[in-house]
Amino acid sequence: MSLNPPIRDWHGQRVWLIGASTGIGRALAIQLHALGARVVVSARHREALESFVLAHPGSTALPLDVTHQGAVQDAARNLLAQGPLDLVCYCAGYYHPMRATALDLTDLLRHHEVNTVGALYVLDAVLPSMVNRHQGHLSLISSVAGYRGLPLGLAYGPTKAALINLAETLYLDLHAQGLGVSLINPGFVDTPLTAQNEFPMPAIITAEEAAKAIVQGWTRGEFEIHFPKRFTWVMKLLRLLPTRWYFAAIRRLTRL
């Protein structure tokens, strides 16, 4: 049984992808445009958005810095004045590896501003309209890095854990209102963010493969969309271990 209303026909669906200049967000925009969706792409990098629109007629570029609440409110207001939004996906993400022995508070807070607070700004801007319509879908891209603590994840992991909890709570609050809520937890995906990693990334997939898995999850009405399964199921099993066993397993697996 589907936890969300399945989205099987994308033709005419108005989709706002926030964080779509590179990586999973851009790959999603390409796939949804090919399926007939009316795609709006947002990110800080205007040139990347404009190049997308030139290559994908009918799409719209809306430059946006998600850390500025007023800018998010203005962007949402302008979009909603043109018609309802059928799906809003928060793809924006910021990541630098960090350990507690080299804590950088400014960079740590930047993770929270982009990954968590930006998502809250977007929710505040679009949720009232969706609730009033009793229709629409909210999707948050988190990560399996939010399941439990991981080495090098001091700044990134807590923000993704927050998004997991946020999506679960949103689902409980909004399902009865007729809204869809989905949580996307990728493993390693080949993007400019993961290119910073200096360690082997098991089961890494392309952004195009990630986008395909996400669209399939929306089509099936899933709540948690996680991939690639050969990696994410291992992370889910590790999540169930008692703390002492988990710490020992992670030290052994990562050698960090």
Positions annotated as catalytic residues are 156
For tokens 């925009």, name the residue: 29
Q: How many CA atoms lie within 13 A of 235 on its CB side?
A: 22
The answer for residues whose C-beta is within 8 angstroms of residue 222's C-beta and 6 or more apart is 2, 3, 4, 182
Distance CA(221)–CA(239), nearest Å, equals 24
Alpha carbons 23 and 1: distance in angstroms, whole number: 31
